[in-house]
Structure 1
Amino acid sequence: MADIAIPVLRLTEARTPDGGFAPAFLDELRRALHEVGFLQLTDFGADAGQVDELADVTRRFFALPLADRLALDNRASPHFRGYTRLGHEITAGRPDAREQLDFAPEQAPLPRDEWDATYRLLEGPNQWPDASLPELREKVLAWAELLSGVGTELTRALAAALGLPETHFDAVFAAAPHWFGKLIRYVGVEDEDLQAQGVGPHADWGFLTLLLQDSTGGLQARPSRSGEWVDVPPLDGALVVNVGEMLEVATHGYLVATVHRVLPCRPGTTRQSIGFFWSPRLDATLDPVPLTRELAAHAPGVTETEHNAMLPRFGDNALKGWLRSHPEVAARHHADLLG
């Protein structure tokens, strides 16, 4: 384990009274995401009680009878929305010991003959437990609205921290950013194949990830500049923020989509988290930004492997990830896309 602390920033310190970004905040933000790829963000604007209420309604969702959760089975959704059973999402080629509910902007699906690109299959309706837990939809969508605002402010701060106009990235998010979210419960099980990982090592394929974790612990990051695992400890009332692949593409590797994992829970225990993946429009292409000479000297290019190409158009990068992580949905609805 590397001896690296995860930086903590307060969003209320991002701007000065005149409305501009505070240079000290920009320096800390750039340093955190360049050197570690992770930070913790506090004072981000949640209403009093909002975090606790969201955590509570999420717990109540996973406490519903399995039949109620399976009524939202993601295998019935060609858009990868809904409930994924324990052990049926794949990361790094192995099943994860988690169950979850995936959601994204509510959209009418396009008929296949009207697609302008294959990634349009990701547009569609969510699945909510309105009959058994009607308040879940309202609280989750209120959270998504809040974090869309946080994501927008962080994106503008990052642009300014890179020496660009703060509105530099606005165009790729305009009109229809394709964020997505996950309510997640990790379950400690006896089965060794499942217990091997809560979530296997991976990088996120969006722009920025904003994660609310409980007090259990188990999240670890592997900063590329150290190559060793670092604990991302729970911090009450904080969001964990990390770089996604689209931001790595946009900065030519100055900011790296840091690999991370979740350790398995002990048998008989659980861990809960709520992920929000701030992402541009599906049709948006992230071209490398013009970096200053000083920053460019520390931008080695994107990190690609034979198993994970970095695709600059977000819809292509997202579809790659969904097809890989949910093979049952892919095989049932999109077998023609599987190589």
Structure 2
Amino acid sequence: MTDILPIIDLGLYLRGKNDPLAVEECKKAANALVDYGALLLKDPRVTEEDNSQFLNLMEDYFAQPYEKKLKDARPDLSYQVGVTPGFTEEPICNRDPKCLDMIAKMPEGSRPLPITGPDVKWRFFWRIGDRPKETEFPQLNSEPIIPEMFKDTWFTVMNKWGNQMHRAVLDVTEMVSVGFGLPANKLPDLTKNGPHLLAPTGSDLNEYGKLNTVLAGFHYDLNFLTIHGKSRFPGLHIWPRNGSTKMQVRVPDGCLLVQAGKQLEWLTGGKVKAGYHEVVVTESTLKAIENAKRSEPKRPLWRISSTFFLHIASDNLLQPLEPFEHNLALYPPTLTGKQVQNELRLLSLGE
């Protein structure tokens, strides 16, 4: 394996989906998720200006006083809309014996930093896409929260960035379908009316900007695919194939990052593994902090991730697809909403 993730050219695919070069790019995307659990994506439709506008909004939001942000929290809905305060979400590996055993077997130099409790990061969940007309899981498909201080700009900026991320990751989903030899619409159709979330995190680097501080402890994502714009502060590490090699992710300018989640692992019977990752303060983070302090105009010193979670629809059955059915015993048929609820309990977010 190399020290850089494969870069997938989405523009090549969009220019001619049946072109042999486009089909090869689809296979490259599928193989990247198998080998790394992640890939870098070049989408010519997404601009740095849009990413910057979104990051500015979220920096301003998370820099508000604690009490103002807390008005946007909905613990009764397992924090699946609105804000999740810091020290609420617990990394899943803190409660998973299999994960702890996996860490213990890693070479010492490749282990994640120790998890000492819930993450310091805050998060905001903003629903993107159509809701189902009927569902067994209304809690996962709730109405959005609009923060009082940002009501004039919030809806426009959040939907603009969220819809761009949704469109980009849906196209990746189509590419992965083709790459695995499935009909192009097979995986995208499973996500229709899913509880997709624009889910930026915020970590206060004034308070937690010290070397080796864990901002988001070692974990995998419970959803289908996750996509991010480039953060202003590096610090993300991944473990390809849940293995022993730790990689610091470097997102080139003009690229997005896509990561495999647990629902994709389920649908592929484990051929693709949900990618384990952590976010910590590194030497590169400290350099970015110093640069930010010297820059003008001054911005709130919060690390924002412009994260978007693509989900399989809550009422769809989650089970290995036809090419991957040999692992049905390990991934038994389960309603996707049940899978999400089970994972939320492990994160200390659900009952």
Q: In terms of mean alpha carbon deviation, does 161-170 or 45-54 score higher?
A: 45-54
**Of 290, 297, 300, which residue of structure 1 is paired with 2:322?**
290
**Of 186, 200, 210, which residue of structure 2 is paired with 1:168?**
186
Structure 1 residues 17 and 78: CA distance shift in structure 2, 3 A: closer
Structure 1 residues 149 and 261: CA distance shift in structure 2, 3 A: same
Q: How does 1:40-59 map onto structure 2 within 5 Å?
A: 40-46=40-46, 49-59=49-59
Match of 1:101 in 2: 124
1:281 maps onto 2:313 in alignment: yes
Residues 147-187 of structure 1: CA distance to partner in whole angstroms, max 9, x if unpaired?
Answer: 2222221111111101111112243223x122112121123
Q: Distance in 1 between matches of 2:78 and 2:220?
A: 24
Q: In terms of mean alpha carbon deviation, does 6-15 or 69-78 score higher?
A: 69-78
Match of 1:209 in 2: 226
Residues 116-147 of structure 1: CA distance to partner in whole angstroms, max 9, x if unpaired?
Answer: 74x33222112111444531221111222222
Q: Give 1 or 2: higher helix fraction.
A: 2
Match of 1:322 in 2: 344
Structure 1 residues 44 and 68: CA distance shift in structure 2, 3 A: farther
Q: Distance in 1 between matches of 2:131 and 2:272?
A: 34
Superposed displacement of residue 48, structure 1: 6.7
Structure 1 residues 116 and 99: CA distance shift in structure 2, 3 A: closer
Q: Distance in 1 between matches of 2:328 and 2:120?
A: 30
Kindly indicate whether the alpha-carbon contact (under 8 Å) linking 1:249 and 1:302 is maintained by their aligned counterparts in 2. no
Q: Distance in 1 between matches of 2:17 and 2:90?
A: 47
Superposed displacement of residue 16, structure 1: 4.6
| Ranges in structure 1 where 5+ consecutive residues have no aligned partner | 331-337
Structure 1 residues 18 and 108: CA distance shift in structure 2, 3 A: closer
Match of 1:10 in 2: 9
**Of 303, 308, 316, which residue of structure 2 is paired with 1:271?**
303
Match of 1:143 in 2: 161
Q: How does 1:82-121 map onto structure 2 within 5 Å?
A: 82-91=82-91, 92-93=93-94, 94-105=117-128, 117=136, 119-121=137-139
| Ranges in structure 2 where 5+ consecutive residues have no aligned partner | 95-116, 290-300
Superposed displacement of residue 270, structure 1: 3.9
Structure 1 residues 251 and 77: CA distance shift in structure 2, 3 A: closer
Kindly indicate whether the alpha-carbon contact (under 8 Å) linking 2:216 and 2:280 is maintained by their aligned counterparts in 1. yes
Q: Distance in 2 between matches of 1:315 and 1:274?
A: 24
Q: Give the TM-score of the pair, scaled to structure 1.
A: 0.79
Q: Distance in 1 between matches of 2:274 and 2:36?
A: 10
Match of 2:297 in 1: none
**Of 216, 234, 238, which residue of structure 2 is paired with 1:199?**
216
Match of 1:39 in 2: 39
Q: Give the TM-score of the pair, scaled to structure 2.
A: 0.77
1:256 maps onto 2:288 in alignment: no
Paired residue secondary structure (1:96):
coil
Q: Distance in 2 between matches of 1:130 and 1:240?
A: 31
Q: What amino acid sits opposite 2:8 in the alignment?
A: L
Superposed displacement of residue 325, structure 1: 2.2
Q: What amino acid sits opposite 2:177 in the alignment?
A: A
Kindly indicate whether the alpha-carbon contact (under 8 Å) linking 1:35 and 1:225 is maintained by their aligned counterparts in 2. no
Kindly indicate whether the alpha-carbon contact (under 8 Å) linking 1:208 and 1:244 is maintained by their aligned counterparts in 2. yes
Superposed displacement of residue 75, structure 1: 2.8
Kindly indicate whether the alpha-carbon contact (under 8 Å) linking 1:32 and 1:38 is maintained by their aligned counterparts in 2. yes
Kindly indicate whether the alpha-carbon contact (under 8 Å) linking 1:80 and 1:322 is maintained by their aligned counterparts in 2. no
Q: Distance in 2 between matches of 1:225 and 1:86?
A: 27
Superposed displacement of residue 300, structure 1: 8.2
Q: Supply the RMSD in Å over aligned alpha carbons.
A: 3.3
Q: What amino acid sits opposite 1:231 in the alignment?
A: Q
Match of 2:99 in 1: none
Q: Distance in 1 between matches of 2:329 and 2:281?
A: 27
Q: Distance in 2 between matches of 1:6 and 1:212?
A: 15
Q: Distance in 2 between matches of 1:10 and 1:36?
A: 17
Structure 1 residues 27 and 52: CA distance shift in structure 2, 3 A: same
Q: In terms of mean alpha carbon deviation, does 273-282 or 177-186 score higher?
A: 177-186
Kindly indicate whether the alpha-carbon contact (under 8 Å) linking 2:140 and 2:195 is maintained by their aligned counterparts in 1. no
1:129 maps onto 2:147 in alignment: yes
